[in-house]
């Protein structure tokens, strides 16, 4: 991703749920909820890339074991839709990152979610107010670029750059 390298080259970061078949080639440690190499995701990595990315730190994506401002950036590609409370995740990533959050989301119209409605902002706010937590692995949130930008605006989270589709995998 030229966009990722424009903003993140020369910086140190943490990647949430990194995958060998979607490697960014940046200076990151990989955080995932398990070291298990026999998950649906790790098996997919093996099929697509012939290897699976090692997990450096085991933690939930929205509850990181790092102090505030521990990294220059947090990178999450195809992760946020799997977390029931994306506001909690964004706030946690914002806590850990000194400079940037770099987020790639699957666009509803270009995924198997194409028949689902976009998740409304008020539902995301309610999930956060309710403290929704779950280990169920599914797409909790259906995104478009516009819906994510609306959430960022609601959270006063500045957006410095934006692509639709992204320059890496066309999401």
Mean pLDDT within 6-28 = 97
Q: What is the pLDDT of residues 51-89, one digit of tens each?
A: 999 999 999 999 999 999 999 999 999 999 999 999 999
Which neighbouring-strand residues pair with 96?
Answer: none
pTM for this entry: 0.95
What per-residue confidence (pLDDT) applies to 170?
Answer: 77
> Quick check: 169 pLDDT over 90?
no
What per-residue confidence (pLDDT) applies to 52?
Answer: 93
């Amino acid at each position: 991703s030229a966009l990722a390298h424009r903003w993140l080259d020369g910086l140190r970061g943490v990647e949430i749920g990194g995958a060998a078949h979607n490697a960014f080639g940046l200076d990151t440690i990989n955080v995932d909820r398990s070291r298990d190499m026999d998950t649906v995701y790790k098996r997919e990595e093996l099929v697509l890339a012939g290897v699976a990315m090692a997990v450096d730190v085991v933690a939930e994506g929205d509850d990181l074991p790092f102090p505030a401002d521990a990294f220059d950036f947090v990178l999450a590609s195809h992760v946020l839709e799997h977390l029931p409370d994306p506001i909690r995740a964004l706030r946690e990533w914002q806590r850990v990152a000194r400079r940037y959050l770099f987020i790639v989301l699957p666009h509803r119209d270009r995924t198997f979610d194409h028949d689902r409605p976009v998740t409304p902002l008020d539902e995301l706010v309610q999930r956060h107010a309710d403290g929704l937590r779950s280990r169920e692995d599914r797409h909790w949130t259906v995104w478009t670029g516009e819906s994510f930008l609306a959430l960022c605006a609601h959270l006063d989270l500045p957006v410095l750059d934006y692509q639709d589709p992204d320059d890496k995998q066309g999401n």
